[in-house]
Amino acid sequence: MSWIRFFLGVCAAIVALALLGVWALRGFDTFGMGFHGILALLLGAILSSAVGIGLMALVFFSNRSGHDDEIGRPDPPDGLF
């Protein structure tokens, strides 16, 4: 599970750096937002990306660990096992 945390941290950092780069280039001035609006925009983008990345990492982890192998199979008849 430590690789999931590392992956989530790296992806969140990349998104944060991209948004900070746009902010540094004064790209948010055209929206007419104040400090609180920009902060909400940045936090919303980072947290939404973190949730999406975390869920996708859990899907890959679940698939690789074999937890999903038994889900789609029908139950065997009662007399065989």
Which segments in the chain show pLDDT lower than 50? none
Regarding pTM above 0.85, the answer is: no
**What confidence score (pLDDT) does residue 18 get?**
83
Half-sphere CA count of 55, side-chain side, radius 13 A? 5
pLDDT tens for 7-24 read: 878 888 888 888 788 777
**Domain coordinates in residue numbering, the chain:** 2-64
b/e string for 42-56 if b means 16 or more Cβ within 10 A? beeebeebbeebbee
